[in-house]
A = this chain, B = another copy of it.
Amino acid sequence: MSPYDPSAYPPFAVTVDLVVLTVRRHSLCALTVRRGEPPFQGRWALPGGFVKADEDLAAAAARELVEETGLCVHDPAAPESAGNGAHLEQLGTYGDPQRDPRMRVVSVAHLVLAPDLPAPRAGGDANSARWSPVETFLDQDGEQGSLAFDHAQILADGVERARSKIEYSSLATAFCTPEFTVGELRRVYEAVWGVALDPRNFHRKVTGTPGFLVPTGGTTTRQGGRPAQLFRAGGATLLNPPMLRPEV
């Protein structure tokens, strides 16, 4: 590492951006906020903000999440909170010199997976934050409706991360309420992958994987039909063998 020469290496602004995903009404949705000021004023963007001088990156992401959505992050160091709060992980860092027209900004994107929640709040302005199906931002090549900055790319990367990660980890349970049924978990996979899964094979797979699901003893009929067993997420985090995403 070379000596620090401020004239040769001007300082950068560092931000965190959040890809907050949830499953609502059978579809994978992302949280976006409407920008109140230039650049991209009035356009939708990912929530995010500047990292404070003495703040860790993950802490900054967690703080922005609370500020913009009221969501709590699940702390891995506090296992008693398992099932409550959202999953947060670092996604990647975006530092194209032109990505922000105002100045050189390096943004550390984070991925948040949350269960379905009541409408988000954003600084009291309910109209400035909303959930939208991810296809809204992924499908179109045109400018219409696309996100500010390079946020469409960040969102696409976050969605792909989520899609691949539920294959080989138990992370899909982060989209569920603390207690959930096999069917609810299956609908999570179906929404995230955008495919239909065989209920019988799915049931066999998830109940047969040790440590994935822990029965709570209760049952529910909230989905209609025959009552279903309730489960909690088990301790296993890695699925081996993985859940296979069906071929296209």
Q: How far is A103 from B54 in the complex, measured between Cα atoms in Å?
A: 10
Known: A9-B13, A95-B56, A97-B56. A1 touches B49 (CB 8 A): yes
Q: For residue A45, which residues in chain B have a CB less than 8 angstroms away from its CB?
A: 1
Known: A4-B102, A45-B1. A12 touches B51 (CB 8 A): yes
Known: A37-B3, A53-B104. A93 touches B93 (CB 8 A): yes
Q: How far is A14 from B57 in the complex, measured between Cα atoms in Å?
A: 13
Q: Are B95 and A9 in contact (CB under 8 A)?
A: no
Contact string against B for A residues 226-237, beta-carbon threshold 8 Å, 1 for contact and 0 otherwise: 000000000000
Q: Are B95 and A108 in contact (CB under 8 A)?
A: yes
Q: How far is the CB of A53 from chain B (nearest CB, A)?
A: 5
Q: Are A53 and B9 in contact (CB under 8 A)?
A: yes
Q: Are B102 and A35 in contact (CB under 8 A)?
A: no
Q: For residue A56, which residues in chain B have a CB less than 8 angstroms away from its CB?
A: 95-97
Query: Among residues 55 to 103 in chain A, which have CB atoms less than 8 Å away from a CB atom of chain B?
Result: 55-57, 90, 92-93, 95-97, 102-103
Q: For residue A2, which residues in chain B have a CB less than 8 angstroms away from its CB?
A: 49-50
Q: How far is A52 from B35 in the complex, measured between Cα atoms in Å?
A: 29
Contact string against B for A residues 100-115, beta-carbon threshold 8 Å, 1 for contact and 0 otherwise: 0011101010000000
> In this assembly, does A124 line the interface, its C-beta being within 8 Å of a C-beta of chain B?
no
Q: How far is the CB of A104 from chain B (nearest CB, A)?
A: 7
A residues whose Cβ falls under 8 Å from a Cβ of B: 1-4, 8-15, 35, 37, 45, 48-57, 90, 92-93, 95-97, 102-104, 106, 108, 240-241, 244, 247
A-B contact list, 22 entries, CB within 8 Å: A1-B15, A1-B48, A3-B37, A4-B13, A8-B50, A9-B51, A9-B52, A9-B53, A11-B11, A12-B106, A14-B95, A14-B106, A51-B106, A54-B104, A55-B97, A56-B96, A57-B96, A93-B93, A95-B108, A106-B108, A240-B247, A241-B244
